[in-house]
Amino acid sequence: MTTLCPRPSATPLKFRDPAKARAMARSLARLTRQIGRAPVSVMHVCGSHEQAIAKFGLRASFPKDLNVIMGPGCPVCVTDVPEVDEAVVLATRGVRIATYGDMVKVPGTVRSLADAQAEGARVHVVYSVAQAVELARETDDEVVFFASGFETTAVATAAVVLRGLPRNFSILSAHKYIPPVMEIVAEMPEGRVEGFLAAGHAATITGWGIFERFVERHRIPVVVAGFEPLDILAGLVKLLEVIHDGRPRVENMYPRCVTREGNLRAQEQLWKVFRPVGGRWRGIAHVPNGNLRLRDEWAGVDARRRFHIDVTGLWDSSPSALVQECICGDIMAGIASPTDCALYGSECLPETPVGACMVSSEGTCKIWHQYGGHPDLGGAP
């Protein structure tokens, strides 16, 4: 992995307990040595983890043989091209689209929602699905909520469905479910991931018990970790300990938010409204059970069943040559870094993103571009 100089905006290391952080960095170095394979690669699947790792310059305190990779942890980035196309087609047909901010710029086959908006389509950025429902109550127009996010965010969508929706409101679900994609990554032939750091807040909903079957099947340990720099370091130390002792299991290093069974009420809402179906994740693979779609009982509020959405018209055009050079898929699968991409930082910038990973604040490329991916702050232990 290429070493980047930190950009000027990168924050200097600020730990609430620097002595503890240094001790944990020493433990990481010792455990990596004891495991004795170089490099030891572990993966996290959460944009907020990558933000914290990059922002606080944690990679500078990792031993050089420890490779902490961001996997498919950015829901905006894994939204597949045809899903964006569906939203673009609806928008150009005069339907009002409400969606979370980053979704507007994600490229479809030839256009993004931002492009459609520039041509006169009505696209509204909302911070919460509840705001999208309010929007529908204030108009007679059809409003479609283009829903992105992993299970944590899908719970909010489920909750508004169960509350009851205005007649002119429907949902175009691009929600994704994280546990199945971990299976895909674990089975990749290029696979070298020896352990997963699971995202604390997704596990708040699902509980850490959900990872037990994964560990049994793949013999790869999972550690649930929080987002504070010390939480992440503690999670990594535990993960290396488990890799070293050779007894794969799930460990919960975020007990202040995560229990074994999770938030049962939220799970009930989630599965009452959604069912998992197989589908493509952009650039990665077909992920069995990786997409969350509305159950048949909710067909009336499912935009895919309310409207006949024909995206084939967009397929006559091919994506630009630049898009074909984008390696977002390899980056999200953990087999390449942003700095391996010829476009990164030149043709592909946050202002003019080519790939989805440069669009979202949870995308690896955008995070590295803001904070520097592997800052050499000097004096690593």
Partner 1 sequence: MCLGVPGKVLEVDGLVAIVDFWGLRRPILLDSVDQPVSPGDYILNHVGFAIRRIPPEEIGETLLLYEQLLRESGEDMMAADVRSEIRATGGEGGP
Q: How many CA atoms lie within 13 A of 276 on its CB side?
A: 14
Instruction: With H, G, I as helix, E, B as strand and everything else as coil, classify residue 26.
Output: helix
- Smallest gap from Cβ 253 to partner 1, in A, equals 13
Nearer to partner 1, 152 or 337 (CB): 152
Nearer to partner 1, 298 or 371 (CB): 371
Return the H-helix or E-strand segment holding 199. Answer: strand 193-199
Bridge partners for 42 per DSSP: 68, 195
Q: How does DSSP assign 83-96, residue by residue?
A: HHHHHHHHHHTT-E
Return the H-helix or E-strand segment holding 75. Answer: helix 75-78
Closest CA to 237 of 26, 14, 46, 33: 26
- Smallest gap from Cβ 101 to partner 1, in A, equals 7
- Smallest gap from Cβ 380 to partner 1, in A, equals 22
- Smallest gap from Cβ 69 to partner 1, in A, equals 18
Residues in the chain: 381
DSSP state of 292: E
Nearer to partner 1, 158 or 220 (CB): 158
> What backbone torsions phi and psi does residue 155 show, to the nearest 5 degrees?
-60, -40
- Smallest gap from Cβ 74 to partner 1, in A, equals 9
- Smallest gap from Cβ 170 to partner 1, in A, equals 18
Nearer to partner 1, 92 or 269 (CB): 269
Q: State the residues that interact with partner 1 by CB under 8 A.
A: 9, 11, 14, 16, 46-48, 51-52, 55, 100-101, 127-131, 133-134, 149-150, 152-153, 155-156, 158-159, 162-163, 199, 201-202, 204-205, 227-229, 256-257, 263-266, 269, 361-362, 366-367, 370-371
Nearer to partner 1, 55 or 244 (CB): 55
CB-based contacts of 160, cutoff 8 Å, min separation 6: 129, 130, 133
Distance CA(35)–CA(151), nearest Å, equals: 34
Nearer to partner 1, 306 or 369 (CB): 369
